[in-house]
Chain A
Amino acid sequence: MASLGQGARVLVLSKERIESVFPHIVDSGYSISSPESSEYNCIAWAAEDTEKFWWPDNLNISYWPLEIPREETTEAFVRAFEMLGYSCCEDASCEEGYEKIAIYADSSSKPTHMARQLNSGHWTSKLGELEDVEHDLDAFKNSDYGDVHMIMKRPKEPKQ
């Protein structure tokens, strides 16, 4: 370790931490794509917002669209993303002309996490205040994130 630079040491620690919390992520393959930050979370990252921490907490601490009830339910999350042009769909595969997001929830259907699909078909997630990672949809199996409960899609904006 002593021979590694500061950046490399941080990366090793990050990988250890991520892999201890998400044991399945190693088998499914993943890569770290940005430094850690507590300024935004996975919901914000799915909404392509790196300025705010999104969550419908009832203490009014986090950002949540005013028009949507501050409830920790899949329905409230779906409505928040419908406001961004997404609609529910069945298929998580990569579809030409569409971008997709996934809502993860625990066994009581309470949302825990969100991911956004990349052009490659892989998914990108912000892991709490840890790093953003690229991963497979089932990378968080057997973890606090539970399973995918909803897929949503919207047409991609045409490139200028």
Chain B
Amino acid sequence: MSRPAPLIDIRIVDTTGVGTGEDSNSLHAEYERQFEHYYLPVSRQWSRPDIKFNALKTEWKTNTAHLSSITEICMHPAYQQIIGMGPLALPYIFAAMREKPDHWFWALKAINSEDPILPEQRGKIKEMTKAWLRWAKEQGY
């Protein structure tokens, strides 16, 4: 017996980097987000670590960008939920760090119980990011 045809058959084609501008890529990313939001129930979306990570990261950045206290920044519930994802969050954290240095050090320390940062590097965000990305490479991320 043949399988019934799917009710919807929408394929998202990755057009990033194919001669498209930044605005076009933003529109495409937003389209993908809307597509997932519309067709996937929230409960299923959150079972996908990439979607969960990106949603938490957006919430975290939106609510803490104006803060200077690293304690307040990292105690934000969305950041703590990322820590709660455990090692599952690591590939996404490292990908985010490769894109832009940011305050992922608390989460990395909490998830890994390791710290490749030298005392003299404390507070130097670029150097700390490089040290963690070096560690990530050594660990196969």
Give the interface of A toward B (CB within 8 A): 6, 17-18, 21-22, 38-44, 51-55, 57, 59-64, 72, 111-114, 126-130, 144
What chain A residues lie within 8 Å of B33 (beta carbons)? none
In the complex, residue of chain B having the shortest beta-carbon distance to the beta carbon of A20: B66
**Of B6-14, B80-88, B120-128, which binds chain A?**
B120-128
Q: How many A-B residue pairs have CB under 8 A?
A: 80
Docked-complex contact B70 and A62, CB < 8 angstroms? yes
In the complex, residue of chain B having the shortest beta-carbon distance to the beta carbon of A9: B23
Assembly CA distance A39 to B123 (angstroms): 8
Pick from A17, A62, A114, A127 the residue with the most CB of B within 10 Å: A62
* 14 more A-B residue pairs beyond the given contacts A61-B105, A62-B123, with a C-beta to C-beta distance below 8 A: A21-B66, A39-B126, A51-B124, A53-B123, A53-B125, A57-B71, A61-B117, A61-B122, A62-B70, A128-B64, A128-B65, A128-B73, A130-B65, A130-B66
What chain A residues lie within 8 Å of B116 (beta carbons)? none
Assembly CA distance A110 to B65 (angstroms): 19
Pick from A21, A43, A55 the residue with the most CB of B within 10 Å: A55
Asked if B37 lies at the interface with its beta carbon under 8 angstroms from chain A, I say no
What chain A residues lie within 8 Å of B100 (beta carbons)? 38
Docked-complex contact A54 and B66, CB < 8 angstroms? no
Closest 3 CB pairs of A and B: A63-B123, A52-B123, A41-B68
Docked-complex contact B66 and A128, CB < 8 angstroms? yes
With A60-B122, A62-B122 known to touch, is A72 a contact of B71 (CB < 8 Å)? yes
Docked-complex contact A57 and B70, CB < 8 angstroms? yes
Give the interface of B toward A (CB within 8 A): 22, 64-71, 73, 100-103, 105-106, 109, 117, 119, 122-126, 128
In the complex, residue of chain A having the shortest beta-carbon distance to the beta carbon of B23: A2
In the complex, residue of chain A having the shortest beta-carbon distance to the beta carbon of B102: A38
Chain A proximity of B71: nearest CB distance (Å): 5
What chain B residues lie within 8 Å of A52 (beta carbons)? 122-124
In the complex, residue of chain A having the shortest beta-carbon distance to the beta carbon of B115: A60
Pick from B69, B70, B117 the residue with the most CB of A within 10 Å: B69
What chain B residues lie within 8 Å of A40 (beta carbons)? 125
Pick from B22, B100, B105, B119 the residue with the most CB of A within 10 Å: B105
With A53-B123, A61-B105 known to touch, is A127 a contact of B66 (CB < 8 Å)? yes
What chain B residues lie within 8 Å of A57 (beta carbons)? 70-71
What chain B residues lie within 8 Å of A54 (beta carbons)? 123
Chain B proximity of A139: nearest CB distance (Å): 13
Docked-complex contact A61 and B106, CB < 8 angstroms? yes
What chain A residues lie within 8 Å of B73 (beta carbons)? 128
Sample (27) of A-B pairs whose CB atoms are under 8 Å apart: A17-B65, A17-B66, A18-B66, A38-B102, A39-B101, A39-B126, A40-B125, A42-B68, A44-B123, A52-B123, A53-B123, A55-B123, A57-B70, A59-B106, A59-B109, A61-B105, A62-B70, A64-B122, A112-B67, A112-B68, A112-B69, A113-B68, A114-B68, A126-B68, A129-B65, A130-B65, A130-B66
